[in-house]
């Protein structure tokens, strides 16, 4: 059973030509986070996440490049930095505590990584540089030469760097651009300003970086599809033309099947009397694959596979059901989002990564809906090995569908299917969620079904969304072409409408908020669809699951509870965000779930604390008396302020919160800043006085999130009351003068608000003048998409040549920085309106060269207008 045991941590560095990795003295310390998991202390900066990163295609000769790299943050457009700011621990994202940096970047900045590796050249081998995932746009350089670029933050990529390497030291540099929710790329639940169901961004390298040494002719990929009805595994080995392959299936080192044939064609590997893969018995066969030229084996990889079938069929009552291995299995699932308080998108350790699946299985679920995130390969390996049905969401397009977002989404959709295709645990793809960035649903539904006919497709989870029994999101032609009809209903469960040929699924429900003091990401606020106490949760959850039993008798075939773990301020998990407290004991959960799923297989042993179900009012009353008696320990004050919120004692909370704020001393943590920001009422507050001392009032811009929140508070407190209807620019300038010591600190915020005021009021002339002043002073802080929209507003409404020339300058900036068709079209239209017909035609042609879909026809019509001088 080499295949399965070796995956626990192959570290065969001795066979690699990379003799050393540039590793200066350890200059790393985890940054403070409001809470952290038990695994954070186990992170070794010399060897973080050392496990082999690609369990489904294993080779011996590899080098892990995780560890300390140099990093720098520069203005977007600047050249490669000559100096670096410090060390960052790869593969933890920039914003995480485990990175050792815990900074954010803006859409106007680039993040740079640098590492030195030592190499001994071997002309008989190739060297591949692998990245598990980099969010979002990565440009890679080796020894100063650009070797490749990858867009998309969720999928793996590699480059052949053989010809760029030299004997001795080699420099690897990675440039990252990550606009998060301000760009065209899928970004999942990451946003620039986290709140409620949206969370902290992950920027940069967030999965393992590694080097692999391969033969000149090597196995590039494996594709296999089990067929349990015929007792075969269909397998294709991708390799150079002219080579043959031999594939052997093994059960505990005993050969159970063998096939020889050509590379790059589908082979039928016999697996007689197959042991089937299922959650209750997730049997995996080992797989040995050899690449052969003549009689010589030139390459060999190890893999594994599971024999399983997923399909739709009718039960005895005529309801459409999900069948696993030709038997109906209720898909009892939970919505796993894959965030960590210390690593954000990256689990602190491999043991932590495995823990999440073990915990969900120990709860008695047989299904995980992996929500709006693609995990590392090892997560899916553990789902395969432990036995968990996985519904895999595609990460939705930017919800505003800016130009380029559809192309980016479809590129990543294809990469996701290709990357995860071989995992037996993945049974269902989820195309769209709650209309987030929905487009061309019928076309994309048919495309995914054709690309992967071996799995089910849930074309739109929550296309009908119900909240408190009210239909919030109707859809007249829901689930077109889908195998599944999927509704979301918060908080209480309901059934999807019966539609011919479609399985009825409840894709999300629940979201019951229960916060546990001392285990919160944001101690000052929490979010859930409904709030209950720990003692109330068990009964409410049990009743919801009894409703599921009733609905199952009416055709419901699967359900997804939101959610297994709290995520940042969203505290509706069964377990806390730090994975330390479970709000309903495991045994109780399994009893509840056993009515729908009797057997989930071997129950993992998971160590965790049960929630205290004492009446919060009683606990708070005792704590309040301690406060009255003089207890002022800061940790106690923080805890009792949370308890006051839990029992809705607004008067007590205000008093205690002020005591807690009084106890805080610099340097403040992010949690401290957020607590003070959330308790601001006016500029006389103690919280305000403390915060303002921490601010550089001469700094007009900052990407520190609480700085921006403080700017907004000051603006709303001092400036907004003075804003009247139909104000002129001069009147705005008078208000600016009255801002006193805050003028410089608020200048960029003020100029932006002034411009948007005139835009909202339809005064485009004043808007143009104001925006040009904003652009001249703070142009780098204005996103290209916003700048393009502002320029278009001027083009559509203004004839004045001087004002049009301002818009032309803005538009020129956008096309110089990003070759986006709609930017080029805007630029061309303004040029034409200013009388520069030849240059307008040139840019409209460039827009057409890059465009597709509906935009292409629009741009062609514009070009015809230019050509005909209309």
Query: Would you state the structure tokens that stand for residue 266, as one six-digit string?
Result: 């589908």
72 vs 79, 179, 487, CA distance in Å?
A: 12, 17, 45
- pLDDT at position 524 over 70: no
**Angle 801-817/821-833 helices, nearest 10 degrees?**
150
CATH number of domain containing 58 = 2.60.120.260
The Cα–Cα gap between 234 and 368 comes to 26
Q: What is the model's pLDDT at position 750?
A: 94
Full DSSP string of 38-100: TTGGG--TTSSS-S-S-TTSB-S-EEE--EEEEEEEEETT----SS--EEEEETS-TTSTTTT
**Claim to verify: residue 206 and residue 252 sit in the same structural domain:** no
Query: Would you state the structure tokens that stand for residue 36, as one six-digit string?
Result: 């952290």
The Cα–Cα gap between 478 and 472 comes to 14
Map residue 555 onto helix, strand or coil: coil
What is the band of 647 on the pLDDT scale with cuts at 50, 70, 90?
confident
Mean pLDDT of the 274-289 span: 98
854 vs 154, 394, 857, CA distance in Å?
A: 28, 24, 6
692 part of a folded domain: no
469 part of a folded domain: yes
Q: Is the pTM of this model over 0.75?
A: yes
**Claim to verify: residue 32 and residue 149 sit in the same structural domain:** yes
Q: What is the model's pLDDT at position 328?
A: 98
**Claim to verify: residue 334 and residue 432 sit in the same structural domain:** yes
Left, alpha or beta for 601 (phi > 0: left; psi -120 to 50: alpha)?
Answer: left
- pLDDT at position 9 over 60: no
What is the band of 5 on the pLDDT scale with cuts at 50, 70, 90?
very low
Is the previous residue joined to 384 through a cis bond, with omega within 30 degrees of 0? Answer: no
- Is residue 93 within 8 A of residue 111, CB to CB? The reply is no
Q: What is the model's pLDDT at position 16?
A: 56
Lowest mean pLDDT among 270-284, 565-579, 740-754: 740-754
Boundary (domain end) residue, out of 155, 183, 215: 215
Tell me, letter by letter, the H, E, C secondary structure of 833-865. HCCCHHHHHHHHHHHHHHCCHHHHHHHHHHHHH
* Residue carrying structure tokens 């080029």: 824
Q: What is the model's pLDDT at position 26?
A: 65
The Cα–Cα gap between 828 and 254 comes to 68
**Claim to verify: residue 104 and residue 241 sit in the same structural domain:** no
Query: Would you state the structure tokens that stand for residue 208, as one six-digit string?
Result: 């393992």
CATH number of domain containing 862 = 1.25.40.10
CATH number of domain containing 392 = 3.20.20.80
* Residue carrying structure tokens 């720990």: 534
- pLDDT at position 13 over 70: no
The Cα–Cα gap between 610 and 809 comes to 61
- pLDDT at position 8 over 50: no
Range of the domain at 291: 229-305
521 vs 303, 376, 674, 680, CA distance in Å?
A: 39, 24, 10, 19
**Claim to verify: residue 198 and residue 238 sit in the same structural domain:** no
373 part of a folded domain: yes
Q: What is the model's pLDDT at position 14?
A: 38
Left, alpha or beta for 215 (phi > 0: left; psi -120 to 50: alpha)?
Answer: beta
- Is residue 625 within 8 A of residue 360, CB to CB? The reply is no
Lowest mean pLDDT among 406-410, 480-484, 610-614: 610-614
**Claim to verify: residue 620 and residue 604 sit in the same structural domain:** no
Residue (of 216, 175, 222, 196) closest to 80 by Cα position: 175
The Cα–Cα gap between 870 and 866 comes to 6
- Is residue 425 within 8 A of residue 384, CB to CB? The reply is yes
Q: What is the model's pLDDT at position 240?
A: 97
What is the band of 18 on the pLDDT scale with cuts at 50, 70, 90?
low
**Claim to verify: residue 505 and residue 545 sit in the same structural domain:** yes
Candidate ranges 18-32, 244-258, 616-630, 671-685; pick with highest mean pLDDT = 244-258
- pLDDT at position 352 over 70: yes
Q: What is the model's pLDDT at position 700?
A: 66
Q: Measured at the alpha carbon of residue 304, what is the angle toward residues 303 and 308, in degrees to the nearest 5?
A: 150
- pLDDT at position 696 over 90: no
Q: What is the model's pLDDT at position 755?
A: 96
Lowest mean pLDDT among 170-174, 648-652, 826-830: 648-652
Boundary (domain end) residue, out of 167, 182, 215: 215
- Is residue 149 within 8 A of residue 104, CB to CB? The reply is no
Question: Which ranges of 614-763 does DSSP label H, i.e. alpha helix?
Answer: 616-628, 634-646, 650-663, 670-678, 686-693, 705-714, 729-737, 743-760
Full DSSP string of 514-536: ---TTS-SSTT--B-SEE--HHH
What's the sign of the alpha-carbon dihedral 840, 842, 847, 853?
A: positive
- Is residue 50 within 8 A of residue 64, CB to CB? The reply is yes
Map residue 404 onto helix, strand or coil: coil
Chain segment 761-818, per-residue pLDDT in tens: 999 999 999 999 999 999 988 988 899 999 999 999 999 999 999 999 999 999 998 8
Lowest mean pLDDT among 92-101, 161-170, 519-528: 519-528
361 part of a folded domain: yes
**Claim to verify: residue 670 and residue 724 sit in the same structural domain:** no
Mean pLDDT of the chain: 92
Q: What is the model's pLDDT at position 65?
A: 98
Instruction: Provide the Cα torsion 521, 522, 523, 527; round to 10°.
Output: -110
Q: What is the model's pLDDT at position 476?
A: 84
Residue 394 is classified by DSSP as P
A 10 A CB-CB count for 5 gives 9
Q: What is the model's pLDDT at position 790?
A: 97
27 part of a folded domain: yes
CATH number of domain containing 290 = 2.60.40.10
Strands 320-324 and 327-328: antiparallel
**Claim to verify: residue 352 and residue 285 sit in the same structural domain:** no
The Cα–Cα gap between 844 and 826 comes to 9
Q: What is the model's pLDDT at position 399?
A: 87
Give the whole-number percent of the chain exceeding pLDDT 90. Answer: 78
**Claim to verify: residue 562 and residue 495 sit in the same structural domain:** yes
The Cα–Cα gap between 561 and 509 comes to 5
- pLDDT at position 726 over 90: no
The Cβ-side half-sphere exposure at 767, using a 13 Å CA radius, reads 21
| Number of domains composing the chain | 5
Mean pLDDT of the 22-36 span: 78
- pLDDT at position 673 over 60: yes
220 part of a folded domain: no
* Residue carrying structure tokens 């835009």: 759
Chain segment 56-87, per-residue pLDDT in tens: 999 999 999 999 999 999 999 899 999 999 99
* Residue carrying structure tokens 């959960």: 589
**Claim to verify: residue 155 and residue 296 sit in the same structural domain:** no
Instruction: Provide the Cα torsion 820, 821, 824, 825; round to 10°.
Output: -150
862 part of a folded domain: yes
The Cα–Cα gap between 768 and 763 comes to 9
Chain segment 175-212, per-residue pLDDT in tens: 999 999 988 999 999 998 888 899 999 999 999 999 99
Q: What is the largest CA-CA distance in the chain?
A: 87
Percent helix, percent strand, percent coil in the chain, to nearest 5: 35, 25, 40
Q: What is the model's pLDDT at position 688?
A: 92
The Cα–Cα gap between 854 and 754 comes to 34
The Cα–Cα gap between 570 and 551 comes to 27
- Is residue 278 within 8 A of residue 238, CB to CB? The reply is no
**Claim to verify: residue 285 and residue 194 sit in the same structural domain:** no
Map residue 310 onto helix, strand or coil: strand
- Is residue 558 within 8 A of residue 331, CB to CB? The reply is yes
Mean pLDDT of the 296-319 span: 97
689 part of a folded domain: no
Boundary (domain end) residue, out of 182, 215, 248: 215
């Amino acid at each position: 059973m080499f295949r399965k045991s070796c995956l626990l941590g192959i570290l065969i560095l001795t066979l690699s030509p990379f003799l050393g990795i540039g590793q200066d003295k350890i200059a790393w310390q985890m940054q403070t986070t409001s809470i952290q998991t038990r695994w954070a202390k186990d992170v070794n900066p010399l060897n973080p996440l050392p496990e082999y990163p690609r369990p489904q295609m294993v080779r011996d000769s590899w080098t892990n490049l995780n560890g300390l790299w140099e990093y720098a943050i520069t203005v977007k457009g600047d050249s490669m930095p000559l100096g670096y700011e410090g060390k960052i621990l790869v593969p933890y994202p920039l914003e995480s505590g485990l990175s050792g940096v815990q900074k954010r970047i803006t859409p106007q900045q680039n993040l740079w990584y640098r590492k030195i590796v030592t190499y001994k050249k071997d002309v008989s081998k190739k060297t591949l540089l692998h990245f598990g995932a980099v969010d979002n746009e990565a440009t890679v350089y080796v020894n100063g030469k650009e070797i490749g670029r990858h867009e998309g933050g969720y999928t793996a990529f590699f480059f052949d760097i053989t010809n760029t390497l030299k004997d001795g030291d080699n420099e690897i540099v990675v440039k990252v651009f990550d606009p998060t929710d301000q760009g065209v790329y899928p970004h999942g639940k990451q946003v620039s300003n986290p709140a409620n169901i949206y969370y902290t961004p992950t920027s940069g390298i967030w999965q393992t970086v590694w080097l692999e040494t391969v033969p000149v002719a090597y196995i590039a990929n494996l594709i296999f599809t089990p067929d349990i009805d015929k007792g075969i595994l269909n397998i294709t080995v991708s390799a150079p033309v002219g080579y043959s392959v031999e594939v052997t299936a093994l059960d505990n080192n005993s050969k159970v099947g063998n096939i020889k044939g050509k590379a790059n064609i589908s082979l039928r590997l016999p697996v007689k009397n197959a042991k089937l893969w299922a959650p209750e018995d997730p049997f995996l066969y080992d797989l040995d694959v050899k690449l052969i030229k003549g009689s010589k084996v030139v390459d060999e990889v190890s893999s594994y596979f599971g024999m399983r079938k997923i399909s739709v069929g009718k039960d005895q009552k005529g309801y459409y059901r999900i069948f696993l291995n030709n038997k109906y299995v209720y898909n009892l699932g939970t919505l796993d989002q894959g965030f960590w308080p210390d690593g954000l998108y990256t689990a602190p350790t491999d043991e932590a990564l495995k823990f999440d699946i073990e915990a969900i299985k120990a709860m008695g679920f047989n299904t995980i809906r992996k929500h709006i995130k693609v995990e590392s390969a090892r997560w899916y390996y553990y789902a395969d090995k432990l036995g968990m049905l996985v519904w895999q969401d595609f990460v939705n397009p930017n919800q505003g569908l800016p130009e380029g977002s559809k192309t980016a989404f479809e590129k990543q959709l294809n990469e996701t299917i290709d990357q995860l295709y071989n995992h037996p645990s993945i049974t269902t793809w989820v195309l769209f969620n709650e209309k987030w960035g929905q487009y061309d649903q019928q076309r994309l539904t048919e495309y995914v079904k054709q690309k992967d006919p071996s799995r089910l497709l849930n074309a739109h989870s929550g296309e009908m969304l119900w909240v408190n029994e009210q239909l919030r999101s109707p859809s007249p032609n829901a689930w077109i072409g889908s195998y599944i009809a999927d509704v979301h209903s918060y908080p209480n469960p309901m059934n999807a409408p019966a539609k011919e040929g479609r399985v009825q699924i409840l894709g999300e429900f629940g979201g019951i908020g229960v916060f546990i003091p001392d285990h919160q990401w944001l101690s000052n606020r929490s979010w859930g669809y409904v709030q209950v106490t720990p003692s109330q949760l068990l009964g409410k959850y049990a009743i919801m699951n009894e409703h599921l039993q009733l609905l199952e008798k009416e055709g419901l075939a699967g359900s997804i509870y939101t959610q297994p773990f709290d995520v940042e301020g969203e505290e509706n998990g069964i377990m806390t965000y730090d994975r330390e407290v479970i709000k309903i004991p495991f045994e109780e959960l399994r009893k509840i779930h056993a009515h729908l799923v009797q057997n989930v297989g071997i129950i993992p042993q998971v160590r965790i604390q049960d929630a205290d179900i004492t009446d919060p009012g009683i606990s708070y009353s005792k704590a309040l008396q301690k406060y009255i008696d003089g207890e002022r320990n800061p940790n106690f004050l923080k805890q009792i302020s949370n308890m006051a919120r839990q029992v809705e004692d607004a008067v007590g909370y205000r008093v205690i919160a002020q005591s807690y704020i009084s106890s805080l001393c610099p340097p403040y943590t992010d949690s401290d800043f957020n607590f003070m920001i959330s308790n601001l009422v006016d500029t006389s507050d103690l919280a305000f006085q403390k915060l303002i001392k921490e601010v550089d009032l001469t700094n007009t811009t900052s990407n520190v999130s609480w700085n921006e929140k403080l700017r907004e508070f000051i603006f709303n407190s001092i400036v907004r009351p003075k804003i009247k209807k139909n104000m002129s620019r001069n009147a705005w300038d008078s208000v600016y003068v009255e801002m006193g010591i805050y003028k410089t600190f608020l200048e960029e915020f003020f100029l932006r608000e002034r411009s948007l005021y005139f835009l909202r009021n339809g005064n485009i002339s004043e808007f143009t003048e104001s925006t040009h002043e904003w652009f001249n002073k703070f142009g780098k802080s204005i996103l290209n998409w916003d700048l393009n929209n502002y320029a278009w507003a001027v083009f559509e409404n203004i004839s004045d040549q001087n004002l049009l020339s301002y818009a032309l300058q803005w538009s020129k900036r956008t096309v110089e920085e990003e070759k986006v068709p709609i930017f080029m079209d805007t630029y061309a239209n303004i040029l034409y309106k200013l009388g520069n017909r030849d240059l307008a035609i040139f840019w409209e042609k460039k827009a057409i060269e890059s465009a597709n879909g509906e935009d292409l026809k629009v741009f062609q019509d514009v070009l015809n207008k230019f050509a005909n001088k209309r």
